[in-house]
Chain A
C-alpha cells in the first residue's frame, strides 16, 4: 500500500501532477474526513427530510384549512428560493437569534454548529420536495384497494401500515431516489458555511499545495463516482421493489 502511495510522490516529482491526498498521510486524512462528512451529512439530511416529508404529507391531508395552507406555503417557499440563501438565512439570521450556550470551560458557544445548521437547512429544502412526493404516492393508492382491506376487517392503522404505505412507497421510490441524488449534490453548499465536507477539504488542500487543477479533476471524478454508485444502487433497489406483473 505504501508503495502505491509512494508512486504518486514519484509521479509528482517526474511529471508535476501533484496529488498530495494520496502520498501525504495528513492530506489523505483530510480528504477522507471530508468524504466521510459528506456521507454523514447526506445520511442525516436524508433521514430528517424523509421524516419532514411524511409529517408534511400527513399534515397536508389535515381537515384544517390553515394547516394545509401552512404546509403548502412551506413547500412553495423552499422550492422557489435558492438553497444557498436558505442556508445563510438559517446559519446567520436564525443562528443569531438563538441564545448562546455555556461551554465546558466557561466560554460562550452558539447553540448549533455549522454542521447542525447545514442539516437543518438542507433537510427543510429536500423535505419540501418529499412532502409532494409522498402525497402523490399516497394518492396513487386506489381507494378500492383500501376499501377491500376495510371489508376484510382491517383497522385504519392496519390499512395504513400494511396496504397504503407499502404501495405508496413503491410509487414514490423513483422520485425519492432522484431527490436523494440531488440532496447529495446539494451538500456541497455546506462549504459556504465552512462545514468540512469534501469540497471544503479539497479547497484546503489546494490552498496549501497550489494544485487547483489536479484537485478540481479529482473532485469531479469523486462526485461522478459517488453519485454514479448511488444512482446505480437506487436503480437496482427500484427493480427489486417492483411488484411482479406491473409495468
Chain B
C-alpha cells in the first residue's frame, strides 16, 4: 500500500472477465489519475458496466489486476469494506432503500458501517442534501420522489461515505428526459470540485463537456481512447466512427 498521489488512483491491467461461456472483458487496461474524470462509452453489451462493477468488487475477475490506491481488488482476501470506503457507486436504477427516508438513506451507511457519530453525520448529510439541491426533501421516502430526485439522493448517499473515487453506471439511462439535466449538473459540480470520477454513459454531449479522457469499448476491448476533442473529432478506428455517427 505504498500509493502516492502521483501514481494512478485506479490502475486496471489486462482484465479478463467471463460469465460462464460468455467472455465480457478480454484484456482491458486503463489508468485514472487523481482528480481525473473519465467516461467509458460504447455499444450495449460491450462490457463497460461490467468493468466498473469490477472496480468495486461487485463482480470478480478471472485474470488481470485492478489497483485502487494501491489496493489489489483481484485478491481472495480482499478487505471489501476498506475498498468500498474509497469507492462510491451510483447505479442506473438508483437502488435507494425504499423503507428509509432520503436523509436516512444518506446517513445509514456512515452510521451503521463506519460507526460514525450520528449527530455529526446528520449535519453532514444535510449539507449533502443541500449540495444536490434537495432541501425540503429530507423526510420524503424514495417512492415519493421523482427519478431525478432519487438519483441525486443516491449520489449524496455515496458521497456520505467520503469516497475518493465515484463510479457512475449509466445513471441517467432510466430517467425521464426532463430530469436528466439536474442529475448531470450534480455530477458536473462534483467533477469541478476535483472528485475522481469514472462514468459509463450514453450522454455524448455531457462526456465531451466534463471528461478529461474518453474510452470507447467494443466487444470486451478498449478500441480507442483520447481526450474528448481528438476523440470526437478525429476518431481513427472505423468502429468508433460508426458508433459515433449513429449516436450523434
Contact = CB atoms under 8 A, between A and B. Distances in A.
Interface in A150-170: 150-155, 158, 162-163, 166-167, 170
Nearest to A169: B99
Given A153-B161, A158-B112, A244 B141 contact: yes
Interface residues of A, number: 22
Given A244-B141, A245-B145, 12 more contacts: A144-B91, A144-B95, A145-B95, A147-B58, A148-B96, A151-B58, A151-B89, A152-B109, A166-B99, A243-B99, A245-B142, A245-B144
B79 to A, nearest CB: 10
A131 B108 CA distance: 30
Interface string B153-164: 010011001000
Interface in B125-169: 140-145, 154, 157-158, 161
Contacts, number: 73
Contacts of B113: 152-155, 158
B95 A162 contact: no
> Which 5 pairs of residues, A with B, have the shortest CB-CB distance?
A245-B143, A148-B95, A153-B84, A152-B109, A245-B144
Interface of B: 56, 58, 80-81, 84-85, 87-89, 91, 93, 95-99, 108-109, 112-114, 140-145, 154, 157-158, 161
B141 A243 contact: yes
A84 interface: no
A207 B84 CA distance: 72
Given A151-B58, A151-B84, A153-B81, A167 B95 contact: no
A173 to B, nearest CB: 12
Interface in A112-161: 142, 144-145, 147-155, 158
A232 interface: no
B166 to A, nearest CB: 11
A92 B95 CA distance: 53
A242 to B, nearest CB: 10
Contact of B144 (A150, A170, A244): A244
Interface of A: 142, 144-145, 147-155, 158, 162-163, 166-167, 170, 243-246
Given A144-B91, A154-B109, A162-B112, A149 B97 contact: yes
Contact of B98 (A150, A153, A158, A167): A167
Contacts of A170: 99
A187 B241 CA distance: 73
Given A148-B91, A151-B89, A243 B143 contact: yes
Contacts of B95: 142, 144-145, 147-148
B189 to A, nearest CB: 22
A162 B56 CA distance: 21
B97 A163 contact: yes
Contact of B99 (A148, A150, A152, A167): A167
Nearest to B108: A162
